[in-house]
Structure 1
Amino acid sequence: MAIELTMPALSPTMEKGTLAKWLVKEGDRVKAGDLIAEIETDKATMEYEAADDGRIARLVIAEGTDDVAVGSVIALLASDDETVPEPAMADTAPAAALAEAPAPAPAPAPAPTPEAAATPPAAELPRKRPSPADRIKVSPLAARIADAKGIDLGGIAGTGPNGRIVRADLGIAPLLAPAPAAMAAAPATTAIVAPPPAGVPVETVKLSSMRKTIARRLTESKASVPHFYLTARCNLDPLLALRRQLNAAIEGRGVKLSVNDLLIKAVALALQEVPDANVQFGGDVLHRFARVDVSMAVAIDGGLVTPVLRDVGALSLSAIASQSKALAAKARDGKLTPEDYDGGTVSLSNLGMFGIDEMVPVINPPQALILGAAAGVEQPWKVDGKIELATIMAATASFDHRAIDGAVAAEFMRAFRELVETPMRLTV
């Protein structure tokens, strides 16, 4: 019997994706683990592996199709001599939607399966690959999260339709804090999209899922988060000198410290000194974080992603360098997993390598703080009581005024500047 291959949920919040490219064609033989497609999400383009051996009997969804719902049948896998019937409404009726339909009451049993109550005989429909959703009543999204987090679904009482386990039943905090009632009641603003000017040669390019998500999230950030900005100018020369010394000392170990690595550490230690800035607005509450997880902005083809370094305050500089290099490489190769970019308590965006004199970043919601680092510019500066040339970096941070007040923000910027200008503290 044919096996349905469905659009996977590649992150806890994914509801739709773009089937960017098929890596196989109808009739191809595949083995479990073979790459068969590229799926584009709002964060990255990820490869989809076959979970069973067989022959690609039908590609149900054409490559390049946008907004394919999680759970939709995208292809059918069959044995060599098997004839596969046309899937009913395969391109519009996702498997997840079938699972959501109320099922007739089954005969009393300890744990009835949805297929036993609702699915016609196996001869009439292709069989689905076994999954947690096939064994107990659970939504596909909740099943994927449970599998990723190692959550036992057996003892969880579902609150969804017919006792179905949904995401909220897993006790997983939402990635985006719910908007407070006052904000929800505010009138929504509709962006005015103007056509290109007449008579000007133009190429119109379709937006990727990532670019759409960036546009939506940053528009929401500027529209709903009250930003305010502080700039501190830091003498980079001590930090640059320490970096040279440390790299000379660890030469040959496969690790090389970048300026960005030291800035990441400085952000984390500054937030440890000023914990009131390591917070997140939560409507009627304020979330205070006990550790610093830094989202590191990485520019990739078609957009920007922010992989996260966890508990940076406890990491050595060499560990930060190794992790940041690995995450940047995964980001550029489109190999990031949801665990790589979920969360983060603060963001760092560094454009210094592009020679930018100053930048004012936009907050990455639901975080309350993002620091933008510019290039070091040689200019006159007071050094040890004398006017000399020094390499000065403008660091500008954007704060969510609902969570962080001006005085707290100023304390954070002072702590950050002192760490940059006395960088030996980063090594202790």
Structure 2
Amino acid sequence: MAKISEMTQLSPTMSEGVLVKWLKKKGDSVGPGEILAEVETDKAVMEMEAFDSGVLLEIIAPEGAKLPVGAPVAIIGKAGEDITALLAEAKSRSTANVSTPAPVSSPSPAPSSIKKPDPETVAAAPSPSIEVEEPTPRESSVSRGLSSSALEGRIKASPLAKRLAEESGLDLSRVRGSGPDGRILKRDIENGISSAGISSSPFASANIQEEKLPISGMRKTIASRLVHSKTHQPHFYLDMEIDAEPLVHLRENFNSDLKESGEEIKLSLNDFIIRASALALLKVPEVNSSWREDHILKHGRVDIGVAVSIEGGLITPYVRNADKRSVLEIGKTVKELASRARERKLKPEEFSDGTFTVSNLGMFGIDRFAAVINEPEAAILAIGNVVSKPVVKNGAVVPGKTLSVCLSCDHRVVDGAVGAGWLEVFRNFLEHPLRLLA
């Protein structure tokens, strides 16, 4: 008996997906576990499997369609089977569900017997021999409600003329309008600028237009999760400055040794930071916890997320059991996860259910910042740039390198003293980085 195949929930946070590509075509035989199509979820492009055996009798959802979980996408059954009723059912269900990107339309112009050009287009094009500018709908309606005496003290000018006058610093009251009823037009402003010897703004003719950008599934999920986190998790922030010179030197020597031994990988400071975070979580396990409404769950594992910027948003793959991995293992794992994250090829289990997150913006030149906690974790560590500046050592001012970090904490789980204790342990590891190689 034929059945309707539906959009499958391919990740824990997925509520809708975009059908990127059909891998089966109408008439193909399919079986349970075979890949029907590729679907873009809120986090990655994933494979949607078939759950029934038979023939792909009909493809309901076209490529590019955005559908909620549970929406009909295809019909699978026996060859030659009558699916008229199922098609009708699928059509009625999909009418309200399927959405495809639609072009953004501009507001309709006011009715007029004269076709008038877009003011922005006029500004960007060479001056035409004839200029047509008419009152905006708002101006027309206001004017109709005013007496002639009330209009006498009001400067009448087209929106474009007003904008050009403002940008050039020209006083509209000194400009004589050549339009209907003395209305000031673009050409009047240009003549006024020329007469007054005012230099026209280089941006006056810029064709800058408003644009409505579609919201991707990933951006919707990011927005929803971050709003929920900031609303429901009482954040507080702890800043600390760390002597980064020992860590910088160790990394340089470590990478030099790796190069001589033939290793192709080059470790980043973030790899050492992840290792230090994992070891600090072992020593202060209260930070490696989550709020569970009726209890606090102290995790029996250390899975550290690494915030990775990808096209359209942000994703956090996790280094599992980071406390049991060497710095070199962490470096290789992070590089591989980040690469697949940018290709949208991560599996759901690779970017969910972590215990702590590190977000590093140092490579973008950011000295310090505070991050939003990745719920349901209880803390996130924000890493800034290594800064070269004078520091005091042994009572003397000497050149040094510092690293600013900020620990965002969920106050329901982590108190100030606990968070400060974790940061102190973390700092000791970074300022004595050979301990990270043990």
The alignment's TM-score, normalised by the length of structure 2, stands at 0.67
Larger Rg: 2
- Residue 237 in 1 paired to residue 263 in 2? no
Q: For 1:46 and 1:58, locate their aligned partners in 2 and report how far apart those are by CA, in whole Å.
A: 22
Written as runs of structure 1 = structure 2, the 5 A alignment for 1:123-134 is: none
Is contact 2:60-2:75 (8 Å) kept? yes
| Match in the other structure for 1:37 | 37
Q: Is the 8 A contact 2:16 2:67 kept in 1?
A: yes
Q: Which residue of 279, 285, 291 corresponds with 1:281?
A: 291
The one of 206, 209, 227 equivalent to 1:201 is 209
What residue is the counterpart of 1:111 in the other structure? none
C-alpha displacement of 1:34: 7.5
Specify whether residues 84 and 356 from structure 1 end up closer, same or farther in structure 2 by C-alpha distance, changes over 3 A only: farther
Cross-structure match for 2:188:
none
Which of 222, 226, 230 does residue 234 from structure 2 map onto?
A: 226
Query: Is the contact between residue 359 and residue 380 of structure 2 (CA under 8 Å) also seen in structure 1?
Result: yes
Where do residues 37-56 of structure 1 align in structure 2 (5 Å cutoff)?
37-48=37-48, 56=56
What residue in structure 2 maps to residue 107 of structure 1? none
Please report how far the alpha carbon of residue 31 of structure 1 lies from its aligned counterpart in structure 2 after TM superposition: 7.1
Q: Tell me the SS of whatever aligns to 2:407.
A: strand
| Separation of aligned partners in 1, 2:413 and 2:374 | 14
**Matching of residue 263 in structure 1 with residue 273 in structure 2:** yes
| Residue 391 of structure 1 pairs with residue 401 of structure 2 | yes
2:303 to 293, 299, 304: 293
1:144-163 alignment, distance < 5 Å: none
CA drift at 1:327:
1.1
Q: Distance in 1 between matches of 2:227 and 2:376?
A: 13
Superposed, which structure 2 residues align to 1:234-383 within 5 Å?
234-251=242-259, 252-383=262-393
Residues of 2 paired with 1:330 and 1:84: CA distance?
43
Q: What is the aligned-residue RMSD (CA, Å)?
A: 2.7
Secondary structure of the corresponding residue to residue 380 of structure 2:
strand
- Corresponding residue for residue 80 of structure 2: 82
Q: Note the C-alpha offset of 1:387.
A: 1.6
Counterparts of 1:209 and 1:28, CA distance in 2: 31
The CA distance in 1 between the partners of 2:54 and 2:391, in whole Å, is 69
CA distances 1:134-190 after superposition (whole Å, capped 9, x unpaired)? xxxxxxxxxxxxxxxxxxxxxxxxxxxxxxxxxxxxxxxxxxxxxxxxxxxxxxxxx
Q: In the alignment, is the contact (CA less than 8 A) between 1:278 and 1:292 conserved in 2?
A: yes
Distance of aligned partners of 1:75 and 1:372 in 2 relative to their CA distance in 1, 3 Å threshold: same
Give, in angstroms, the shift of residue 76 of structure 1.
3.0
Distance 1:421 1:200, change over 3 A: same
Residue 243 of structure 1 aligns to which amino acid in structure 2?
R
Is the CA contact (8 Å cut-off) linking 1:3 and 1:76 kept in structure 2?
Answer: yes
* Identity among equivalent pairs (%): 39
Question: What secondary structure is seen at the aligned counterpart in 2 of 1:361?
Answer: coil
Cα distance change on mapping 1:92 and 1:296 into 2, 3 Å: farther
Q: Is the 8 A contact 1:18 1:64 kept in 2?
A: no
CA distance 1:214–1:273, change in 2 (3 Å): same
Aligned-residue offset at 1:413 = 1.1
What is the DSSP-based 3-state SS (H/G/I as helix, E as strand, rest coil) of the residue aligned with 2:389? strand
TM-score for the superposition, normalised by structure 1: 0.68
- 1:56 CA displacement: 4.7
Number of aligned positions between the proteins: 321
How far apart are residue 343 of structure 1 and its match? Answer: 0.9
1:47 deviation in Å? 3.2
Q: Which residue of 2 aligns with 1:19?
A: 18
Question: Greater helix percent: which structure?
Answer: 2
Question: Secondary structure at the residue paired with 2:388?
Answer: strand
Quote the Cα distance in structure 1 between the aligned partners of 2:431 and 2:349.
Answer: 34
Q: What corresponds to 2:106 in structure 1?
A: none
Structure 2 unaligned segments of length 5 or more: list them: 95-206
- The residue type paired with residue 6 of structure 1 is E
